[in-house]
Every structure is written in C-alpha cells, then in structure tokens.
Structure 1
Amino acid sequence: MSTMVATTLQRCRRLYRRIWRRVGPRQYPVPDLSRESVGPLEAFYAYRGLPCLIQCRLADCRWFGPTGIAYGRDSLHPYVQSLRQYLDGECRSYRGSCLETYWQHWQPSTLAASLGVSSDTAHPWLRRVPPLSDFMPWSDVRQLQLLRTLAELSPQGEGAESSLVSETAVRQVGPKPDWFGERRLNQLVALHRAILQEGYRYQASQRLEYFHQHIVLDTLARGDEVRFLVANGQHRASVLSVLGYASVPALVHVSHRRGPSLVRREDCLSWPSVRQGIFTENQALEIFDRVFEGRPPPGFPRLARAGEATLAPGELEIAPCAQVMPEGSPTERH
C-alpha cells in the first residue's frame, strides 16, 4: 500500500512539473558571465550572492561528497570510465563496468570511514551512522540534525547494520543492486547520444528549474584559489568529460538544503559541525584540503580505467586518483 501511494505521488509531481514548464512564469534570468573572465568569488560580491552563470574548468570540479574524484579529460570517475568502456565496446551493461568495480571495492560501513576520519578519533555519531550523501563538515544545521536523529536511531555498536539509509541513496559508496547500476549507465549513454545529436544546452528555457538548465556547483575557496563540488549535474559533467570538454558554463551560488554554496576554508570554526564538536578543527580542515586537492580518503581503492582488466578484490591497491588535468582551451560550442 505504501509503495502504491509513493508511486502515485511521484507521478503527480512529474505531471505538475510538466504542466508548470509549459504554462508557469519564467524564472528571473541569472547573470550570464560565462563569456567573461569572471571567477566565482568576484561574481559573489558583484551580484550579492545571487546565482550566476560562469565558465568553470571541469578539472577543478569534484564529485559531490568526500571522495575527491575530479572530472575532466583525464578523469578516473567511475561514470566517466564506464561510459568510455561502453563506447569502446568493452562492456554493454553495468556488469563488468568500472562503476561495478568501484561499488564492489569501496564499501565503508560508517560515515567516519567514508569521510576518511580515523575510528579512534571520530565522534561517536560518525562511528554509528552509515555513509550519508550530503553530509560534510561545512553542512548546515539541517544536516547536523539529520545526523543526530540517525545516530539516536542507529543500532548500538560500532559498524552495526542499519537500514535507516536506503542502499541507493548514497551513490559515492557501494554496494549497489544491479538494476541501479544499469539505470546509471543507461542514463549516461542516452545523455551522450543526445549531446552528440543536439549539442550541449547553453541556452535552456528559463522555465526550467536551475538544476535542469545547467550544472550547479558549490564553490570551495582557499585563499584566492577555488575548486568546485558538483551539487547537480553529475551525469552531464561525466558525459562532457568523455566528450573532451575542458570547461563548461555552470551555475554557482545556488541555494540548496545541503549547506552553503560558497565554503571558505578560513570560516572553519564557524561550521556548525565544528562548533558542535562533531569534527575537530584539524579533522574538518583535512577533509576540506583533501577534497580541494583531489585526494581520496584513506583506504580508497585504486580506480579502474577503461581498457584495463577488471581488478579482483585481492588486487586492490591504495593509490591517489589522477586529478591534475592538462590545461586546454574549451571545446567549441555546438
């Protein structure tokens, strides 16, 4: 009964969105700075934190979460490598793909392990809760409240099994059912085909929600340097990486429920989870620097690359991801 109700509500939401896109009012257009040499910090101050469209290097973008995996031409992201496998004829389904290998080999049992925080020094809540998709040291108080609730409801004992988080909710960690992997790969293939045929959508309808118009990024600032977390548009960033794009127009400073869209390293002591003692200052800064620099957490497996033989579990070796991408001019617009 509950499944039927959930399915009906989902269909109603889809119908509502379709109608709204046709007859709803246009969103207020965002400033398009993608043809200018404007960075996210400059755009933030010039437009008082309003959403802006700027040009961003894919090599500076990271998969949302604590993995530190970068996009770009030389990306080892499992989405990118699996799509390359499919295009090269190495695999025709999720089975045997780099994505399957990734989810088989990266299965941290706790939030602390997924964040790369030592169990000996991690807060008890981090040791009791399973990995979460959106929780980072700079997440807002809503994520902190979710952590507290899950910790109170989780079974006692470190690493105890918990069914409070769906097995498909956190895409950065495995294991995952085959049907879910097949869906991810099918979406990548369909999107690749659409972009090849129609070109990437630089001028999308303003009736679409922001995250359907463009890739949405959160900005990580360390002094004058910036990197980005892909808050929305993981599949688009992966497909564009396969197509050889060096940079793409992306939306920055878009508010969402996960936390701030601009994260400054120097504000570490003001992050809610640091103020509440969930992370020490050193732990929070280590996670920030690791993601910023594209370094994976401790215990992270070597990522499989298209063209290589699939690794057996006994052949795992810990190695940093190849995150430094060569500079290059942006691919010409279609």
Structure 2
Amino acid sequence: MCNPDFNKIMKNNSSIIHVEVSKCCDWQGFSYTEDGWHYLCATLKEYIKQPSIKYENSILNRYYSAFQPKSLFEILLPNYKCNTETQDKHSFLPWGTPINMKAKNNQHFGPNSDTFTKNEFDRTIEIYKKIASEGYQPHRFRDGYIRGQFLKKYDDYRFMISGGQHRMAAISVLGFKTIEVKIQPKWEKLIDIEDINLWPNVQNGSFNKEEATNIFDAYFSTIGREKAKRLNLLHH
C-alpha cells in the first residue's frame, strides 16, 4: 500500500497539488534532493559561492561540454546492454511521455552554442534571484506552476518535472520542502509500474519489458550524483 500522503495526493481532484521537493526529479533522472545532483542546482550553488563567476568557467558550461548523449539509454541506463536497434531514435519514454532529444541547443545536455549556454546560465541565476526575493508565487503568472507527472513504484513515488526546471532548481537550493505543482496538460497524471503491459511503447515493441522496467527503475534508484561522478563534475 502506498504511503498515506501519496494516496491523499491521488485523491485530490484539484489542479494544484502539493508535493515534496525530495520526491522531484527531471526526465533524465537528475534529482533536486539535498544529497542528489542536478546541473542547474550545481550551477546555483557555485554562483552563490562565487557571484562573479562567468558562464565560460561555470559548472553548467562544463556539464554541457561533458554530457552529450546520443540516446535515451545513454542518459538513463549507461551500463545497460539494450536490445533495441533503434535506441538512438527514441523521443518518448516507454509509457508515452515525450522527451527532448534535440541534438543541439538543448537545455538538458550538450552540445550547445556559447550563446545558448550563456542564456541558460543567466536565466538560471535571474530566476533564482527572483524567487529568493519574492518567493515562489505561481498563481501570479500564466504557466507559473511547475508541471509534470507522477511515477509510482509500489509504495514510493516521484514527481517528474516537465516544465519549470529553473524554478525547481532555485526552489531546491533555497531549501523549500514542499511546492505547489500542476499536471502537465495532455499527460497522464500517474504512471504506475504495475501497468507496464499497457504502456503504449511497450505494446508497440519500441521497448521490451525489461528495458521499460529498467528505465522506470532508474528514477527511483539514482539521484543524479552517479552521472555527475561519471562526468567528473563532483570534485569542482
């Protein structure tokens, strides 16, 4: 049985839902927990220590240079020997959620142009400053709410962020414990591992069941530090 708080969340018919920051992650499996790692959170922590740092010397720039994956499997399952011949073609997760695998100028990974990287760096810091001074007030703005969907694995859950990565990073670094979110429009509210046989990209053969299970499990078994360590970004 899932924990009482999550049962309460699922029974809530309101469009606005409260979730724990410690349960939030992005689609690449980077988490916003204190012991986790996210490239935007790391960028802000570095900025707080060195306010005069330039984007060229930032951890964000190093991240985009170091992390240039060619497939979803490389992102979520770097050590997994997949059987799918078209692994580099995936633009959807096994349960049908779309992902951004654009090859250049992608906010999630490199390679990116200097202009794009500088804009991402400046935007991350600008949003952090705004939330630090004014708080997180999503009701004041159109599309002001952080958005995503729930992943449920038996008695545990994650809220996978689809919109509001920069706001989420600021909220995490500022020490928020809970936040108000909304479900991404046109997305399923809840993806349950127990429904794996019904997932569209398992049914159509894009992923076999083992691949789909391992991808889903990655959101619960990793926190982003694993990628950061592999990319030699933890020692900075």
Matched, 1:190 2:126: yes
Matched, 1:45 2:11: yes
Tell me how far apart the structure 1 counterparts of residues 80 and 214 of structure 2 sit (CA, whole Å).
15
The answer on whether the counterparts of 1:61 and 1:228 sit within 8 Å (CA) in structure 2 is: yes
Q: 1:266 aligns with which of 194, 211, 230?
A: 194
Q: 2:233 aligns with which of 304, 316, 333?
A: 304
Partner of 1:217: 148
Tell me how far apart the structure 2 counterparts of residues 237 and 298 of structure 1 sit (CA, whole Å).
20
The answer on whether the counterparts of 1:137 and 1:279 sit within 8 Å (CA) in structure 2 is: yes
Partner of 1:79: 40
Q: CA deviation at 1:104?
A: 1.6
Tell me how far apart the structure 2 counterparts of residues 176 and 293 of structure 1 sit (CA, whole Å).
29
Q: CA deviation at 1:292?
A: 2.2
Partner of 2:173: 242
Tell me how far apart the structure 2 counterparts of residues 51 and 40 of structure 1 sit (CA, whole Å).
15
Report the residue type matching 2:68 in the other structure.
Q
Report matched runs for 1:275-290 at 5 Å. Answer: 275-290=203-218
Report the residue type matching 2:121 in the other structure.
L
The answer on whether the counterparts of 1:83 and 1:185 sit within 8 Å (CA) in structure 2 is: no
Matched, 1:167 2:104: yes
Tell me how far apart the structure 2 counterparts of residues 278 and 97 of structure 1 sit (CA, whole Å).
37
Q: CA deviation at 1:126?
A: 1.5
The answer on whether the counterparts of 1:80 and 1:238 sit within 8 Å (CA) in structure 2 is: yes
**What does the per-residue CA deviation read over 1:292-314, in whole Å, with 9 as the maximum and x for residues that have no partner?**
23355997724624xx44xxxxx
Q: CA deviation at 1:90?
A: 6.5
Closer, same or farther: CA 174–293 of 1 in aligned 2, 3 Å: same
Report the residue type matching 1:57 in the other structure.
E
Tell me how far apart the structure 2 counterparts of residues 247 and 51 of structure 1 sit (CA, whole Å).
16
Aligned length: 233
Partner of 1:104: 65
Tell me how far apart the structure 2 counterparts of residues 228 and 303 of structure 1 sit (CA, whole Å).
27
**What does the per-residue CA deviation read over 1:188-240, in whole Å, with 9 as the maximum and x for residues that have no partner?**
211122123222216x24xx44xx23212310111232111111111111011
Name the SS for the 2:86 alignment partner.
helix
Q: CA deviation at 1:41?
A: 4.0
Report the residue type matching 1:139 in the other structure.
G
Name the SS for the 1:250 alignment partner.
strand
Partner of 1:176: 112
Give the TM-score, by structure 1 length. 0.61
Gap regions ≥5 residues in structure 1: 1-36, 148-163, 310-334
Gap regions ≥5 residues in structure 2: none
Tell me how far apart the structure 1 counterparts of residues 80 and 157 of structure 2 sit (CA, whole Å).
30
**What does the per-residue CA deviation read over 1:242-288, in whole Å, with 9 as the maximum and x for residues that have no partner?**
1122222222x4433xx423110101111111011111111111111
Closer, same or farther: CA 260–106 of 1 in aligned 2, 3 Å: same
Tell me how far apart the structure 2 counterparts of residues 120 and 75 of structure 1 sit (CA, whole Å).
25
Closer, same or farther: CA 295–241 of 1 in aligned 2, 3 Å: closer
Say what the alpha-carbon RMSD is for the aligned residues. 3.1
Tell me how far apart the structure 1 counterparts of residues 51 and 44 of structure 2 sit (CA, whole Å).
10
Report the residue type matching 2:117 in the other structure.
G
The answer on whether the counterparts of 2:21 and 2:177 sit within 8 Å (CA) in structure 1 is: yes
Q: CA deviation at 1:46?
A: 4.6
Matched, 1:88 2:19: no
Report the residue type matching 2:162 in the other structure.
A
The answer on whether the counterparts of 1:137 and 1:284 sit within 8 Å (CA) in structure 2 is: yes
The answer on whether the counterparts of 1:138 and 1:260 sit within 8 Å (CA) in structure 2 is: no
Percent identity reads: 22
Closer, same or farther: CA 272–297 of 1 in aligned 2, 3 Å: farther
Report the residue type matching 1:94 in the other structure.
Y
